[in-house]
Structure 1
């Protein structure tokens, strides 16, 4: 026992020695144009977490909680960077802050720090990467370990999960807290569950969803969701004579949706199996939130009859089946380059839409009153990345594209029941939301995230649309729609550019997904 005590004492001395041997590098603070604040420190070996706590024009003594408190769980481009585009910092404002770094498994702090903002130096560029790492000498905070103030030995509690890993986590956090931060440094399958189903989204689309690295993968900090041909996996003749059985056997590959014959389909001369294989990812088991700012930077796919979507569904269906419990579509688009509506307006990849679905039951759906589109005058949503955002409070929902407000949804004092005029249009039906006091019911419950690329189907591509140079190969009321689509392959498949850029022109690419508490 005495020998064990002595060894424990020696270990404690070594720990204390290591504590004194590291100093948190000085932070770089700068304004973001047109609004916001960036705080960063340089990356270095051993750093596994960076946290910043701050208030504007308010004292922040010791390790007190700030008005804004964030954990950064991974570095990017040589820096640990926190960006907050919700906070307003004016010229002359004082940012009082303290820092926390987890280094080699131990926590270190720098306390009682302050910085005075100057609007003469706003920036949208990342901080300059130093030519030396902390401890190599030189300027800008690269002093040798051990210099400067000695950090405390009582660091704040270190989080054991990254933002967004705790189901409904974050619902008690202060406004402005980053509660979900996905940078796609890895493909986190604990966070993103693959749906496995041929039922699609209930529109008889022509894809089935699976977990396959041909269709969903992460590379160079981006998520790719890319549709491929079913016959690439199963061979010629499978669509009209094979059996697609995706019931699964283990928890990781079980079919997630049997509706619309979603777990097994048989091909015949008139009833083709889904000719496209794609992916749909969701966070229903890992993350859901109520009220917040959702921000996604993504590039839409280009190719005829592609239907990408980033959207949300309720975790619990508190008010009944769809659409009684609501649906929020952050962005939907169509991949066609030359698709026009009956007025001759672009409705393909030059256009995106944001929509909310709600109503007492199908087909009573009030979505036309909560829908907006944005059409680019030059370029497309598939030629570059764009920022799609939604701000959801207890009073309203607002939708943005590249920081431009395109839709505000405020149902008024009578809520969505009154906005939908359901009592007049269908007298005698029950109001599924009558026992809720929330103004925004059914949008007062946790919603989870979904991202997918669908293809075709019998709803989203109207028969009144015109496409060039080749028309739509199926009609929405055709009993052989999937077959008709497939027989037009020689016309639409080349528009996906399958032999260029690894076929990724037809993929939805996602750079990041973030959610802040509001």
Structure 2
């Protein structure tokens, strides 16, 4: 009797385990076809009996909404549940918002709404991806594995994940010397996640709660929580050397670092005089040195925040997108490129992307390539004149695209002023820039002109919708 009772208990526990087991919907693959069409699929798993897709193009969708694109599949094909609609017209840059519903072991499951951006149109005859495909790739991931075409990093900012991102706290210096300090919450409320977006918004240091000092006479101590060992975390105002007048935010991927891949960042850029965003790839281990851009920086895309910024008759305000590779502070602008828009880049969200291979780095915005950097001669550094410091011997030890041949991390942030982003002969709204880049009083002169620039900070935040990195 005891044995039978024990058996019944085991069976009951087994049934409870079976009924409460959580099923996870497999990854959804979406292919945009040419000249028209969409193909959506998931891998087959035992117990699946229904696959339903609901989607909208460039329009949001909620759970249980009926999409403009919809399909119901009751049978798998060659190991996948595949829905196709060859009448849907898609273009590069379109955003497909969708959710899927499946029935597994007679129970229904709905995958939360998600989105994917169309990066290319594929030939309809291209094979359906299989669940176990892991093609070879040039992409390398620190402490990880990459499969050709697969996403190796994705951040949708449903909340602020401090296990993924390091929120920086330090006072930056060379080579840019921006007029900011980077501080973490709760020291300063500059970094937050709101409505599924990352928001980085600069503030006046004097207005930060708990700051009881003076910009011109006080002390700023950031040692508690300092994240840098190469720059300072404490400053004292003395004479013309004031405290950083702006407190801002900066995030860097903490554990994720990679070599070669496709990065996409959907963001809305800040607008306001003397502000500029940092959307960067930066060297993880600083293989070629830590100063003077020695290990390379990729500026994925940015626009200076001034509405009317000019040098002579040449304008380069918030309607001018610029970016490129930085390898040398002296010849900083040698490999920077730009693209003009009829509207400020901060008026709307745009997808800024970089495709990084062993041979070339290309920048795109909303699916349109606008800058390309390839090694000429023996290496990338051959594109610099002999007078530039980039001709140092350290780069001779790397590949022809050195220093862009090592693991890099993703950095997001905002800076203000500094000694590199704004030429000395620049004017903003017809008024001369208030500081000289070579002056010891640069930050002080910027601060003394606060009445002119603070009123322009009507949308000073960098707002990021998502970040993805895909293997080549």
Residues 363-386 of structure 1: per-residue CA shift (max 9 Å, x gap) = 4x5x5442210111x211111111
Change (3 A) 1:418 1:257: same
Q: Does the C-alpha gap of structure 1 residues 298 and 241 become closer, same or farther in structure 2, counting only changes over 3 Å?
A: same
Check whether the contact 1:246–1:255 (CA below 8 A) recurs between aligned residues.
Answer: no
1:267 maps to what in 2? Answer: 237
The Cα shift of 1:434 comes to: 2.9
> Deviation at 1:268?
2.9
Residue in 2 aligned with 1:314?
Answer: 283
Question: Is 1:205 matched up with 2:160?
Answer: no
- Conserved 8 A contact 1:31-1:119: no
Change over 3 Å in CA distance of 1:30–1:434 after alignment to 2: closer
Q: What's the counterpart of residue 381 of structure 1?
A: 345
Q: What TM-score, normalized by structure 1, do the two folds share?
A: 0.70
Q: Distance in 1 between matches of 2:428 and 2:406?
A: 40
- CA shift in 2, pair 1:282/1:97, >3 Å: farther
2:403 to 409, 421, 442: 442
Query: What is the CA-CA distance between 1:28 and the residue it aligns to?
Result: 9.8
Distance in 1 separating the partners of 2:441 and 2:7: 79
Residues in 2 aligned to 1:263 and 1:494: alpha-carbon distance in whole angstroms: 29
From the two aligned structures, give the one with the greater strand fraction: 2
Q: Matches of 2:412 and 2:174 in 1, distance apart?
A: 12
Q: Does the Cα contact within 8 Å between 2:36 and 2:88 map onto a contact in 1?
A: no
Partner of 1:352: 321
Q: Distance in 1 between matches of 2:105 and 2:141?
A: 42
Unaligned runs of 5+ in 1: 41-51, 54-59, 63-75, 81-95, 99-109, 135-140, 148-155, 158-165, 498-504
Q: Per-residue deviation at 1:415?
A: 1.3
Aligned to 1:122: 90
1:452 and 2:413 matched = yes
* Change beyond 3 A, Cα 1:394–1:232: same
- Compute the TM-score of the two structures, normalised by the length of structure 2: 0.76
2:141/2:259 contact within 8 Å kept: no
Displacement after TM superposition at 1:36 (Å) = 9.4
Please show how residues 308-457 of structure 1 align to structure 2 within 5 Å.
Answer: 308-322=277-291, 323-342=293-312, 344-358=313-327, 363=330, 365=331, 367-376=332-341, 378-420=342-384, 422=386, 425=387, 431-436=393-398, 438-457=399-418
Deviation at 1:435, TM superposition (A): 3.4
1:91-144 CA-to-partner distances (Å, cap 9, x unmatched) read xxxxx989xxxxxxxxxxx943334451544374645779xxx6xxxxxx6899
How many residues are matched?
Answer: 413
Tell me what 1:472 maps to: 433
RMSD (CA atoms): 3.8
1:434 counterpart SS class: helix
Q: CA deviation at 1:197?
A: 0.9
Q: 1:38 to 1:449 in 2, by over 3 A?
A: farther
Q: 1:280 corresponds to which residue?
A: 250
- 1:246/1:143 CA distance change after superposition, 3 Å: closer
Q: Give distance in 1, aligned partners of 2:10 and 2:448.
A: 74
SS at match of 2:396: coil
**1:461 lines up with 2:425 in the alignment:** no
Compute the displacement of 1:24 (Å): 6.2
